[in-house]
Amino acid sequence: MSTLKIAIQKSGRLNEDSLQLLKECGISIDHRNAQLKATARNFPLEVFYLRNGDIPQYLEDGVVDIAILGENTLIEKGENLPIVERLGFSKCKVSLAVPKGVDYKDISYFEGKRIATSYTNTLEKYLKEKNINATFHKIAGSVEIAPNIGLADGICDIVSSGGTLFANGLKEAEVMFWSEAVLTKSPVLSPEKQALLDKLQFRIQAILKGRANRYVLLNAPNDKVDDIIKVIPGMKSPTVLPLAQEGWSSIHTVIPKDKFWEILDELKTLGAEGILTTEIEKMVL
């Protein structure tokens, strides 16, 4: 029987979120500290713990079959690898930043300037699209210090909260793109391993749909039920059950998490009462 080989980041937040996702998929992994490889007990899966920047090459060479990694790394080092699923965690930006004292107006500031980055391929492509010529200094880490020591006029790096930029006397100038964790696969995946990936992806999609929605129960006067159903159509249609109190019904449905509060405000306006909400663990349509 085939075994699917998945690569995830060796350590850090992306590692933790990736393992949590696999756990929610019902996959139990035997892992000990300092192990670079682990085997799942209840799914044909081997987990490889690798440096994020090395994962694209392992995929292209067929050493591993699939991987969870940052989209920023995929764009920089694995441009030909497909995004199988966007996972919605480990979100950040890849941005250009300049010293706080710079009077930055637009991208033309970088014409003829020196930029420190570990994302040389991404930066080169971006500036080419903007018709900007600049000099790159490739730095593996601590990119933020480059302007302070006179090595560069600006930097290109990932930005989460912006705290690191601020602490190093920098400010964000241009957001090049937004990034998140993605599931990708090797271009040499066999049909047997593709079938295993399909099974894993089905589980992942059920979890992601659950995370993106909330289950809602509410009570409403019967003469308001039709109006409320227009606001919360549900997956196919809401469940409407009569209450013991005459003239009232209980409505059960699912609503998108990102529209949660605006929908709740509208439901209150329409006369809904006793509104209860709960998280959804998994959701299969």
Higher pLDDT, 40 or 285: 40
**Residue 236's pLDDT band (boundaries 50, 70, 90)?**
confident
Using 50, 70 and 90 to split pLDDT, how confident is the model at 142?
Answer: confident
- Nearest Cα neighbor of 141 from 166, 158, 126, 124 is 158
pLDDT, residue 92, reads: 92
pLDDT exceeds 90 at position 161: no
- pTM for the whole thing? 0.89
pLDDT for the residue 163: 86
The dihedral over CA atoms of 221, 227, 229, 230, expressed in degrees to the nearest 10, equals -170
Cα(32)–Cα(83) distance, integer angstroms: 29
Instruction: Kindly indicate the confidence band of residue 235, based on its pLDDT and cuts at 50, 70 and 90.
Output: confident
Structure confidence at residue 234 (pLDDT): 77
- From CA 68, how far away is CA 208, in angstroms rounded? 15
Share of the chain above pLDDT 90, in %: 86
> Among 96, 72, 59, 22, which Cα is nearest to 179's?
72
Above 90 in pLDDT, residue 285?
A: no
Please count the residues of the chain: 285
Helix (H) or strand (E) holding 14: helix 13-24
Predicted confidence (pLDDT) per residue in 49-102, tens digit = 999 889 999 999 999 999 999 999 999 998 889 999 999 999 999 999 999 999
pLDDT of residue 73: 94
Q: Could you tell me where the beta strands, DSSP code E, fall in the chain?
A: 4-9, 29-30, 37-40, 45-50, 66-70, 83-86, 92-99, 114-117, 135-138, 154-159, 170-179, 181-185, 213-221, 239-242, 248-256, 273-279
- The predicted-structure confidence for 16-30, as pLDDT tens digits, reads as follows 999 999 999 999 998
The Cα-based distances of 235 to 13, 147, 164, 187, 206 in angstroms read 33, 52, 42, 35, 14
Q: What is the pLDDT of residue 34?
A: 67
What pLDDT score was predicted for residue 260?
92
- Quick one: pLDDT band at residue 208, thresholds 50, 70, 90? very high
What domains appear along the chain, each with residue ranges and CATH number? 4-89+181-210 (3.40.190.10), 92-179 (3.40.190.10), 213-279 (3.30.70.120)
Question: What's residue 160's pLDDT?
Answer: 84
Q: Would you state the pLDDT for residue 196? A: 97
Residue showing tokens 């995946």: 189
The pLDDT score that the predictor gives to residue 254 is 94
Q: What is the mean pLDDT of residues 102-130?
A: 95
Average pLDDT, the chain: 93
Tokens coding 108: 């033309």
Per-residue exposure over 215-249, b if at least 16 CB sit within 10 Å of its own CB, e if not = bbebbbeeebbeebbebbeeeeebebeeeeeeebb
pLDDT at 223: 95
